[in-house]
Amino acid sequence: MGQNVQGARVKMKFYASLKENMGVDETVLRLNGNPIFASLLNKLEEVVGNKIDIIVNGEGKLRGNVMLSVNGKLVNPLDLASLKLKDRDKVDIMPLPSGG
């Protein structure tokens, strides 16, 4: 994602059980500077409090039973640490699939 010295407004959307358990459907987070994924999680924690633990483990990493897409593209969990966000990015947080 590109650099943005003025910060970014990132739209987050939660799906299925995460939407119910987090108590959030959609939210727009304002991030300062050149935000990375950790910045997003820190800002999200300000909104949802301890419920952040539903999607983040004790090491501050996304839990293995959660998947994430940015602007409609799935992101490999191994790439999250280096993920940079830009203004108007759309981040979807989803449980692992269980269809069929």
Provide DSSP, 14-65.
Answer: E-HHHHHHHT-SEEEEEE-SS-BHHHHHHHHHHHHGGGGGGTB-TTS-B-TT
Smallest distance, another protein to C-beta of residue 89, A: 15
Residue 85 C-beta-side C-alpha neighbours within 13 Å: 29
**Binding of residue 16 to another protein (CB under 8 A):** yes
Strand order in the sheet with 26-31: 26-31, 8-14, 90-95, 66-70, 73-74
Residue 92 makes contact with another protein by CB under 8 A: yes
Judged by beta carbon, residue 6 or residue 98, the one nearer another protein is: 98
Residue 13 Cβ, how far from another protein at the closest point, in Å? 9
Which range touches another protein (CB under 8 A), out of 9-17, 38-46, 50-58, 81-89? Answer: 9-17
Which residues form the interface with another protein (CB under 8 A)? 15-17, 20, 64-65, 67, 69, 72, 74, 76-77, 92, 94-100
